Structure 1
Amino acid sequence: MTTLLKVEQITKTVRSNGEDLKILHPISFQIADGESVAIIGRSGSGKSTLLSLLAGLDVVSSGEISLGEHQLHQLSEEQRAALRKQYVGFVFQSFMLVQSLTALENVMLPLELAGKTDAKQHALELLEKVGLKERGHHYPNQLSGGEQQRVAVARAFASQPKILFADEPTGNLDAENGKIVENLLFELNQQAGTTLVLVTHDTQLAKRCQRQLTMQAGHLTESTGVENSVQSDYTADEQASDKKEQVA
């Protein structure tokens, strides 16, 4: 299989209280085109930091990340933004919909930014796939959390990204809506051949991925059993901690 994402000995260090704080120790791995991968681990382990580096939202302190033929560490902020527009889709725990736009307009937005002439028709088709075609005229505050996340999934797939990054995509949803969104991610992943990279505390969701990578204190290992890698009782305090560790 063709390698889509290649990570070679990357580290991330930040300055905190006048001292260097190493968030990520040297990490190397590869993700194949069309593969589904879960990044798991406890709060503060470095999961979201790693995700932001993989997506080109942040830059490494050392090492190299290649997305397709592009080496992220050699690109400017503007070049990385252009690459994300072409290659990358996102689904966040907090939905991140534009509140002043309807569901249909939210899904149309990346298509219009890409200059697509059939943006409305394509957006309607995507809303139909996620079961919300009749809700397209509603604004985010008129939709349930599960419906908002389904709109976010439709928007993420609108630009037909090569790779989709999802940061705790079911974290703010009840069990029923979480399962709906989970199924949608994998169905669209398989239909479109999109590479899927998930950050999650949900062991059942992680096990649906072809591979599981575990983060622990800034170190990464390939998992053999996700049950022992993530604490099952994901507490409110940990959820609050993860919200602070945002993709920026």
Structure 2
Amino acid sequence: MSVLSQLNIIHVKELGKTVSTFEGDLTILSDINFSVKSGESVAVVGTSGSGKSTLLSLLAGLDIASKGEVYLDGEALHQLNEEQRARLRAEKVGFVFQSFMLVQSLTALENVMLPAELAGEKNAKEQAQALLEKVGLAHRVGHYPSQLSGGEQQRVAIARAFIGTPKILFADEPSANLDSKNGHLIESLLFDLNKQHGTTLILVTHDEDLAKQCDRIIHIEGGQLAKIRDGEGVAVHVG
């Protein structure tokens, strides 16, 4: 592992993803290089189909790259098997998806507790209750997802993502399915929890205003890294 890989919580080198189709090989991402420091907030932006969500999946170890290297908190994802990647995700990663991904047969409290219980943590219930209170849902702990609004379901998903205090939080269009009011609430929660816990935040978004709240913005165009700039619009060094 390079010294650079050890200095950043995420380091990506010559990353590429190609899939086979009936019409031949399709390159989704190619030659992606960048690093993310611990505690940093980074937005990944680009047009639909540019490869943003694929990049997020590769960074989190949910998908396997066709070429290149991904280091997550010092561990070489590209050298791990699925079981090892799953262990790493359970220990260090949280997720927030635009479709909430809650278990419909579990209450809000049980949904938030689930990752901690699977990790064998003894205080899962206490952690879950504290996080639901932090996201303003202490009065909804016994409700099922079908009894919650979209904004409430996404707040449950955020609480679940932060249980166990992950080092890295990945969010894929976290406010896309919400109205403006709830969307802004969700975005504020993500940044508040990012600052309170020192969690590195990587989010995919089409919202330029949301992206500008991040420390850096990574632009993906046609599967390639077009530019990296800070929230003020100033270009910064790729790496």
Contact 1:27 1:219 in 2 (8 A): yes
Which residue of the partner structure matches residue 162 of structure 2? 157
Equivalences for residues 85-124 of structure 1 within 5 A:
85-124=90-129
Normalised by the length of structure 1, the TM-score is 0.89
Which residue of the partner structure matches residue 167 of structure 1? 172
Distance in 1, Cα, partners of 2:231 & 2:8: 24
Contact 1:46 1:215 in 2 (8 A): yes
Which residue of the partner structure matches residue 3 of structure 2? none
Q: Does 1:222 align with 2:232?
A: no
Which residue of the partner structure matches residue 13 of structure 2? 8
1:146 to 141, 147, 151: 151
Which residue of the partner structure matches residue 179 of structure 1? 184
Distance in 1, Cα, partners of 2:92 & 2:230: 31
Q: CA deviation at 1:18?
A: 4.8
Per-residue CA deviations over 1:80-135 (Å, capped at 9, x if unaligned) read 01110011100000000000000000001111111111111111100000000110
Per-residue CA deviations over 1:168-194 (Å, capped at 9, x if unaligned) read 000000010001100000000000000
Write the letter of the residue equivalent to 1:173: L
Write the letter of the residue equivalent to 2:90: K
Write the letter of the residue equivalent to 1:56: G
1:129 to 117, 131, 134: 134
Distance in 2, Cα, partners of 1:177 & 1:67: 31
Using the aligned pairs only, state the percent identity.
62
* Structure 2 residue ranges without an equivalent (≥5): 1-5, 234-239
Which residue of the partner structure matches residue 28 of structure 1? 33
Q: CA deviation at 1:221?
A: 2.8
- Write out the 4+ residue segments of structure 1 that deviate beyond 2 Å after TM superposition: 221-228
SS at match of 1:141: helix
Per-residue CA deviations over 1:8-56 (Å, capped at 9, x if unaligned) read 0011110011511111111100000000000001100000011100000
Write the letter of the residue equivalent to 1:45: S
Normalised by the length of structure 2, the TM-score is 0.92
Which residue of the partner structure matches residue 44 of structure 2? 39
- Superposition CA RMSD, Å: 1.6
SS at match of 1:220: strand
2:198 to 158, 182, 193: 193
Distance in 2, Cα, partners of 1:2 & 1:178: 34
SS at match of 2:113: helix
Contact 1:203 1:227 in 2 (8 A): no
SS at match of 1:201: coil
Contact 1:203 1:226 in 2 (8 A): no
Distance in 1, Cα, partners of 2:232 & 2:18: 30
Distance in 2, Cα, partners of 1:54 & 1:224: 19
Distance in 1, Cα, partners of 2:208 & 2:152: 23
2:22 to 17, 24, 35: 17
Bigger drift between 27-36 and 114-123 goes to: 114-123
Contact 2:100 2:157 in 1 (8 A): yes
Distance in 2, Cα, partners of 1:21 & 1:155: 35
Distance in 1, Cα, partners of 2:226 & 2:213: 18
Write the letter of the residue equivalent to 1:127: L
